[in-house]
Structure 1
Amino acid sequence: MDLRESISNQTHLSLSLAKHIIATNTQDCNLVLSALSIQVLLALIASGSKGPTQDQFLSFLKSASTHDLNSLSSQLVNGVFADGGPSGGPRISFANAVWVDQSLHFKPSFKEIVDDVYKAASDRVDFQNKPDEATNEVNGWVRKETNGLIREILPRGSVDGTTRLILANALYFK
């Protein structure tokens, strides 16, 4: 993997995503987005897919392989988004999470990528019988990862028995 080329490809993708979102935003309001967060979650999805679906993600993400995507994402998660912490640097938190319905299972290889490459929290929850509890768990995670700035990302009723998977990304910067 050529790191410079990967970064150039992901920068182009991020700018394209931002331009598209800005162009299609019909509301007269401020807009804040993290195109890099979107790219990281799409790379995570690509890592969990196979066949034509994975090929489409790789094409969209301008990457030759999930290995290249995971390598770049790992460097971003471990380096670029490293917290300045108590030393006086900027406070930054970049967190990912995956919740899957308890009727499904993480494939061991995907679980390893989720844990080791993306440093993502992962859990199996009961979307079918306890959707409100799953909603509360996701909202609690978001509240924790944003230091309480975002208290609710999923409104009541947004998760139901048809939900099978939730991917989340929280970016906190101060």
Structure 2
Amino acid sequence: MRLYPFRMTQSLKDLVAGQSECLLRLSRHVSSHIGHNRNFVFSPLSFHAALSLVTPGAKGCTLDQLHTFLCPGSDPTSARTNLADVYSKVTCSALADGSKLGGPSLTRANGVWLDKSFKLKQLFKTTVSSVYKADVQSVDFLRKASCAVRQVNSWVENVTKGLIKDLIPPSSVNQSTVLALCNAIHFKGTWAQKFDQSTTVRDDFHLLDGTSVKVPFMSSEERQYISKYTDFSVLRLPYNQGRDLMRQFSMYIFLPSSKDGIRNLAEKLYSGPEFLNQHLPTRKIPVSKFLVPKFKISFEFEGSEVLKGLGVDLIFGGDRGEGGLSEKVETEPHVTNGLTVSNIFHKAFIEVNEEGTEAAAATAVSMLGCSPMIPQHENFVANHPFLYLIREDMTGVILFVGHVMNPAVDS
């Protein structure tokens, strides 16, 4: 059987551009407010998917606010359909597992856990099951909260191949918890052009405080996808595609020219999909000196304040948002003021070495009642803080973003 690349219509391209705008805006806020002084890895796609699970049960101003954030550029009447389309027609295609065809191994899943005292409204249940392919399970948050937490966390750990553990803290769930919504993703890809471990060398990585640390750098004499600009360079490291012609994943490293230029470069990268798309390398060039550090990063945060800082506040209740999430459950026996989001937990992990990359992330929402100049040869020496992202190139879907401040530490 012959496979053909996924065909993107202009309308789908526009939807992905809108999604990318949201993902980059979200990444900029998390990066600058939470992860700016340390190593950072984040899956904006997982965060976006988990928040998208909230929308089928929202209404009124709360729904409008979610749609404006998650699907920028869409008018209110088409936002719900557009959000479903970008997930079901693009994201699902981009994130299909390609391991049997020699491409990256990719697992993604959505889950919904409902307290057994409640019943989901039919529209919400149908949407999360058919569009988001979510597994809906009944648990006892009211009387057996710790058991329910273990069930959710075990599901996340299983989807992420053991990389994300204890996503939801036991203390965050109590007798008021009604619903938990989760997204989890696991990615493992080998480089199309693997690094030879025998050529890995230890060298200095320069930190922002003026000191340096000795770390292992992967090296190569092979031609590389590099584009160079006045104050930064971009490297593309494609993952092995195998016979999977439907997808092509790549890691991109954005390296500032100055040792302390990462924050200025981050502002440009996260400004929108136009900057990203205009600066991706498209051709291989010879390299004189080529060094990329190995790194492993774990990162976690609670995202309520992140969303509030981005203007998404109605899901957390208050006068304007009260009742805005009431389209999820049929009955609310011990809830008098409707559903509200209490916490949003996110954990992510990435490891980059000579073989390739393994990365995973999970997000949980708990709810309570209530054009470059290319020289003949180029150096690319990533020996100071840089940005990176993992992207599916045929659709433009961004899976992971982050930055490396010190590859000698893993958090």
TM-score, with normalisation over the residues of structure 2? 0.40
State the alpha-carbon separation in 2 of the partners of residues 92 and 102 from structure 1. Answer: 32
Report if aligned partners of 1:77, 1:94 keep a CA contact under 8 Å in 2. no
When the two structures are aligned, how many residues end up with a matched partner? 174
- The partner residue of 1:51 within 41, 56, 60 is 60
Alignment partner of 1:150 is 2:159: no
Report if aligned partners of 1:127, 1:159 keep a CA contact under 8 Å in 2. yes
Superposed displacement of residue 20, structure 1: 0.3
Structure 2 unpaired stretches of 5+ = 1-9, 189-411
More helix by proportion, 1 or 2?
1
State the alpha-carbon separation in 1 of the partners of residues 125 and 43 from structure 2. Answer: 25
Alignment partner of 1:24 is 2:37: no
Structure 1 unpaired stretches of 5+ = none
Q: Is the partner of 2:174 in helix, strand or coil?
A: coil
Superposed displacement of residue 134, structure 1: 0.4
State the alpha-carbon separation in 1 of the partners of residues 91 and 166 from structure 2. Answer: 24
Q: Is the partner of 1:124 in helix, strand or coil?
A: strand
Q: Residue deviations 1:25-48, cap 9 Å, x none?
A: 167432211111222222221122
State the alpha-carbon separation in 2 of the partners of residues 48 and 67 from structure 1. Answer: 14
Report if aligned partners of 1:46, 1:54 keep a CA contact under 8 Å in 2. yes
| Equivalent residue number for residue 181 of structure 2 | 167
Superposed displacement of residue 15, structure 1: 0.5
Structure number with bigger Rg: 2
Change (3 A) 1:8 1:26: closer
State the alpha-carbon separation in 1 of the partners of residues 104 and 180 from structure 2. Answer: 29
Report if aligned partners of 2:113, 2:139 keep a CA contact under 8 Å in 1. yes
Alignment partner of 1:13 is 2:27: no
| Equivalent residue number for residue 41 of structure 1 | 50
Let me know the Cα RMSD of the aligned residues: 1.8
| Equivalent residue number for residue 205 of structure 2 | none
Report if aligned partners of 1:14, 1:39 keep a CA contact under 8 Å in 2. yes
TM-score, with normalisation over the residues of structure 1? 0.91
Superposed displacement of residue 49, structure 1: 0.8
Superposed displacement of residue 124, structure 1: 2.1
The one-letter code sitting in structure 1 at the alignment partner of 2:29 is: H
| Equivalent residue number for residue 100 of structure 1 | 114
| Equivalent residue number for residue 135 of structure 2 | 121
| Equivalent residue number for residue 89 of structure 1 | 103
Alignment partner of 1:67 is 2:78: no
The one-letter code sitting in structure 1 at the alignment partner of 2:111 is: A
Q: Is the partner of 1:2 in helix, strand or coil?
A: helix
Superposed displacement of residue 104, structure 1: 2.1
- Sequence identity (%): 38
Q: Is the partner of 1:166 in helix, strand or coil?
A: strand
Q: Is the partner of 1:136 in helix, strand or coil?
A: helix
More strand by proportion, 1 or 2?
2
State the alpha-carbon separation in 2 of the partners of residues 27 and 18 from structure 1. Answer: 11
State the alpha-carbon separation in 2 of the partners of residues 131 and 44 from structure 1. Answer: 22
The one-letter code sitting in structure 1 at the alignment partner of 2:23 is: S
Q: Is the partner of 1:151 in helix, strand or coil?
A: coil
